[in-house]
Amino acid sequence: MREIKYEDIVKSIRDCIIFSGTNLPKDAYAKMQEAHEKEKSPVAKEVLRQLLENADIAKNEDKPLCQDTGLAVFFVKVGEDLKILGGSLKQAINEGAELGYREGYFRASTCHWDTRANLKDEIGYNLPAVIHFDLVAGDELEIEYAAKGGGSENVSRATVLAPAAGRAGIVAFVKEVVSNAGPNPCPPLTVGVGIGGTFEKAAISSKHALFRELGSKNEDPVLDSMEQELKEELNKLGIGAMGMGGTQTVFGVHIEKNPCHIASLPVSVNVQCHSSRHTKIKF
């Protein structure tokens, strides 16, 4: 049985959060450069220039890319033959998250749903993290982390379509969500789409889809063609960077699928802003 020390997980999570909040991933930076080159609107081009400069400043001065350092979201693949020495895995992730947010001078953004009081003293600094566990065979431990801001989360939507709606219905729903969102979620966007499963499974898949590398191809040829079609259609909306009008509205569309119930076609759209802070740690 493989063993991993509790403290090692805490430290890796902490370091990963601080790095991720201040360093735009290479794929997102490259997409931003590409959008800056292709953009036809001078106003949107200037926005993209500012965003590239912002990424450079954040990296060089260890400053958060965005003041909304998000809720901490984790997807964890944990092998059945793995043992954590000195504590629980869930506790280690939360402890690492708290340290990362606090010591990185990130914002504590969790609050009570009703009173809206900040929970930093009651539960912990920016805690609790949102953690999705997946138990797998073997002894691996893989942790994916995203900082998910409110602006893009607020415009995300899920629905359950009738099976007859099919591919065309899914495309129409994604277009509607992005079109209604307009400038609010800080475009250019990455659009995560989850298809199938149950209501919540589709939503979780749409969030997980955002972890795929920007510019990579979907392995499923049907989904790949849907991604291409959607990207083209969404860029036609004219929303542009920060919604000020332009040709570059999305960096990419990522779709994940699940088998469905014979009676339903769940679809979820999780919108990701340009500040796409996603990382993966393998232990």
Residues that bind another protein (CB under 8 A): 40-44, 46-47, 50-51, 53-54, 57-58, 61-69, 105-109, 116, 118, 120, 150-151, 154, 182-184, 186, 236-240, 242-247, 273-275
Rg, C-alpha atoms of the chain? 19
- Which candidate, 236, 263, 230, places its Cα nearest to that of 160? 263
Query: What CA–CA distance (Å, rounded) separates 117 from 96?
Result: 23
Among 20, 110, 152, 249, which residue sits at the site for ligand SF4 (rule: CB under 6 A)? 152
Query: What CA–CA distance (Å, rounded) separates 8 from 16?
Result: 12
Where helices occur in 104-236 by DSSP H, the ranges are 150-153, 166-181, 199-208, 221-235
For residue 268, state whether it binds ligand SF4 (rule: CB under 6 A).
no
**Residue 79 or 245 having the CB closest to another protein:** 245
**Residue 10 or 177 having the CB closest to ligand SF4:** 177
Q: Quick one: what does residue 239 bind among ligand SF4, another protein, none, with the CB cut-off 5 to 8 Å set by partner type?
A: another protein
Q: 56-85 mask for ligand SF4 (x: CB under 6 A)?
A: ----------x-x-----------------
Query: What CA–CA distance (Å, rounded) separates 112 from 118?
Result: 7
Among 17-25, 56-64, 147-155, 232-240, the segment contacting ligand SF4 (CB under 6 A): 147-155
CA 149 to chain centre: 9
Tell me the closest approach of the beta carbon of residue 275 to ligand SF4, in angstroms.
Answer: 4
The C-alpha angle 129, 131, 137, rounded to 5 degrees, equals 150
Kindly list the residues in this chain that would bind ligand SF4 in the complex (CB under 6 A).
66, 68, 149-152, 185-186, 273, 275
